[in-house]
Amino acid sequence: MLKEKVALVTGASRGIGREIALTLASYGATIVINYNGSKEKAEEVYDKITNNNGKARLYKADVSDFEAVKQMVSDIKDEFGRLDILVNNAGITKDNLILRMSEEEFDKVIDINLKGTFNCLRHVSPLMLKQRYGRIINISSIVGIHGNTGQLNYSASKAGVIGMTKSLAKELGSRGITVNAVAPGYINTDMTEGLKEQWKDLIKEQIPLKRFGETTDVAQTVAFLASDYSSYITGQTIQVDGGLGI
């Protein structure tokens, strides 16, 4: 489904990004595995792909660093000559109630989740425009649609990602580039591991499918949006949340 395609997945060392990298590779894409802090975990993803006869390349870059992202995209262009798929997945949380939230907690989440997504969009767009082809998938969150207590910074960043998705879909549509967002609900990863069991049970009660999602639930949706099966879909946000957002 994705043979001959080159894909950049940000934050591909762990969790959802890892699964997206493995899934796109399983459909034949060459994967640039971006990571920042988790070198060994990123190497595991690389080994898994290449041991399965897939093609991959590791790239350490902090997505919140405009120049570092510029260099990463330039190196991808030099090495592969093209970039067909961009998945903006890298993200963090720094939860706190408004009365306790520090300026640093607000800025850090905006820098990585929102500006990091902008940085990748900014440097990848010229390349895709020249190719007259591209598939961009931004990972948002249902919290960006519905809000959540203690996540003012995170919800602002993820709502911003949806806004950027719609704007860029309008800007790039005439050149064969689609831009969509995926808004996961509660997915089993390091990010949700810290939640107290009692709290998890309460959340599961609210989810029509009565369970947290798995990383594959998100990764297969991303694969669809990265493929030509979704070529008439752009500017959309698909909720992968077990029905929580209904």
Q: How far is CA 167 from the centre of its chain?
A: 17
Angle at 90 (CA atoms; ends 84, 95), nearest 5 degrees: 155
Q: Which is nearer to ligand NAP, 42 or 169 (CB)?
A: 42
End-to-end CA separation in angstroms for the chain: 31
**Nearer Cβ to ligand NAP (6/59):** 59
Beta carbon nearer to ligand NAP, 6 or 222 = 222
How does DSSP classify residue 56?
E
DSSP labels, 181-198? EEEE-SBSSHHHHTS-HH
Q: Which of 12-20, 70-78, 120-128, 225-233 is the region at the interface with ligand NAP (rule: CB under 6 A)?
A: 12-20
Residue 29 token pair: 């894409």
- Known catalytic residue: 154? yes
Least distance in Å: CB of 240 to ligand NAP? 9
Task: List CB contacts of 146: < 8 A, sequence separation 6 or more.
Answer: 245
Angle subtended at Cα 18 by Cα 26 and Cα 41, rounded to the nearest 5 degrees: 120
Chain residues 105-144 in contact with ligand NAP, contact rule CB under 6 A: 112, 116, 139, 141
**Binding of residue 191 to ligand NAP (CB under 6 A):** yes
Cα(225)–Cα(241) distance, integer angstroms:
17
C-beta of 78: minimal distance to ligand NAP in Å? 21
- Only segment of 75-83, 100-108, 181-189, 197-205 that touches ligand NAP (CB under 6 A): 181-189
According to the binding rule CB under 6 A, does residue 242 interact with ligand NAP? no
Q: Which of 119, 103, 143, 151 is nearest to 11 (CA)?
A: 119
Choosing from 35, 59, 154, 186, which is the catalytic residue? 154
CB of 241 to ligand NAP, least distance (A): 8
The catalytic residues are 154
Contact residues for ligand NAP (CB under 6 A)?
10-11, 13-17, 34-38, 62-64, 89-92, 112, 116, 139, 141, 184, 186-187, 189-192
